[in-house]
Amino acid sequence: MLIGVLALQGGFAAHVRMLRGLGADVREVRVAADLEGLDGLVIPGGESTTMTLGIEREGLAEPLRSFGRPVFGTCAGLIMLDREHLGMMDIEARRNAFGRQVRSFEADVEISGVGGPPLRAVFIRAPWIADHGDDVEIVAEVDGHSVAARQGEMLAVAFHPELGTDTRLHERFLAACNGR
Ligand code: GLN
């Protein structure tokens, strides 16, 4: 299985390490040609304005929209997937939603469809999902705010599952990529 990690900016290296640790072949994606032959793609956290500029500079918006395979967006990656950015999910992300004072925190998050104990999730200047369409399933909440969503083969989480040792979300993503 060959998984791409968008590597224009941000926290791509930890995703690469975690995916390789789970046995996947991984390619860092920087230009449209890098999307060829991938079974799935991770869009990592980082800074969404900078990432948007990188996507524009490389002409990646259309190739990403027509990618057609599972995509896993984390933190700024969730923002990239929303209506205002790539429009690959029918969600509206609110940036830095937990407030500038609370730049970062951890929480135990119950994720629908993921068995076992709650996931210890790291939030870093995280967004939340302020609005979503009928085709979107919200799969996790923190303090009543939506922090993870699924829509078809798209999965977006507001936190950083690549930091730490809990690999369950990456395992589920790989299973979705493999299911094709
Ligand atoms: N606050 C960042 C943004 O709006 C996202 C933070 C992150 O990806 N850790 O782009």
Q: What is the pLDDT of residues 140-159, one digit of tens each?
A: 999 999 999 999 999 999 99
- Indicate which residue's Cα is closest to atom 2 of ligand 1: 47
Mean pLDDT calculated for residue range 98-127: 91
Cβ–ligand 1 contact at 95 (below 6 Å): yes
Given a cut of 80, whether residue 180 has pLDDT beyond it is no
3 state SS for 68-90: CCCEEEECHHHHHHCCCCCCCCC
pLDDT, position 99:
84
| Tens digits of residue pLDDT in 25-38 | 999 999 999 999 99
Run of H or E including 165? none
User: 0.95 cut: is pTM over it?
Assistant: yes
Pick the atom of ligand 1 nearest to 77's CA: 8
- Name 30's Cβ contacts closer than 8 Å, sequence gap at least 6: 7, 8, 58
Q: Which of 48, 78, 102, 122 to mutate to test the pocket of ligand 1 (most atoms within 8 A of CB)?
A: 48
CB atoms within 10 A of CB 31: 11
Catalytic status, residue 177? no
Pick the atom of ligand 1 nearest to 96's CA: 1
Cβ–ligand 1 contact at 47 (below 6 Å): yes
Name all domains of the chain by residue range, CATH numbers in brackets. Answer: 2-178 (3.40.50.880)
| Tens digits of residue pLDDT in 68-87 | 999 999 999 999 999 999 99
Cβ–ligand 1 contact at 93 (below 6 Å): no
